């Protein structure tokens, strides 16, 4: 089983982190691929990629437009800003 940001309470215990900001950004505290075994589970610091949090089936059209704009104007000339109002 593979998950992201699951059971953060247990991760905090294993890693020794107590500051919630550090728990949510463990990659800035520990090197990538640092691991903590926990019985039949393994906690590992890993880099989230865009596809991990924004799947193509939901955002594919946006990525397509951005690729087209990057081809026209260069990657440095394209930026996506998103605002969610709750």
pLDDT at position 6: 63
Residue 76, domain member (yes or no): no
Tally the domains of the chain: 1
Note whether residue 33 is domain-resident: yes
Q: Is the model's pLDDT at 50 over the cut of 80?
A: no
Residue 23 included in any domain: yes
| 26 burial via Cβ count (<10 Å: 0-12, 13-18, 19+) | buried
Q: Which domain holds residue 40?
A: 8-44
Buried b (16+ CB within 10 A) or exposed e, 1-18: eeeeeeeeeebbeebebe
Q: Out of 2-6, 12-16, 32-36, 39-43, pick the least confident.
A: 2-6
Query: For residues 13 and 7, what is the distance between their CA atoms, to the nearest angstrom?
Result: 10
Note whether residue 19 is domain-resident.
Answer: yes
In a domain, 27, yes or no: yes
Q: Is the pLDDT of residue 2 over 50?
A: no
CB burial of residue 46 (10 Å; 0-12, 13-18, 19+): middle
What is the model's pLDDT at position 69?
Answer: 96
Asked whether residue 59 is assigned to any structural domain, the reply reads no
64 is a domain residue: no
Residue with tokens 């247990």: 10
pLDDT band per the 50, 70, 90 thresholds, residue 85? confident
Residue 20 lies in a domain: yes
Contact between 36 and 43 (Cβ < 8 Å): yes
């Amino acid at each position: 089983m593979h998950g992201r940001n699951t059971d953060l309470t247990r991760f905090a215990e294993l890693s020794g982190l107590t500051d919630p900001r550090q728990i949510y950004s463990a990659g800035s505290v520990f090197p990538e691929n640092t691991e903590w075994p926990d019985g039949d589970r393994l906690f590992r610091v890993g880099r989230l990629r865009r596809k991990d949090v924004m799947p193509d089936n939901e955002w594919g059209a946006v990525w397509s437009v951005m690729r087209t704009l990057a081809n026209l104007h260069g990657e440095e000339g394209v930026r996506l800003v998103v605002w969610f109002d709750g």
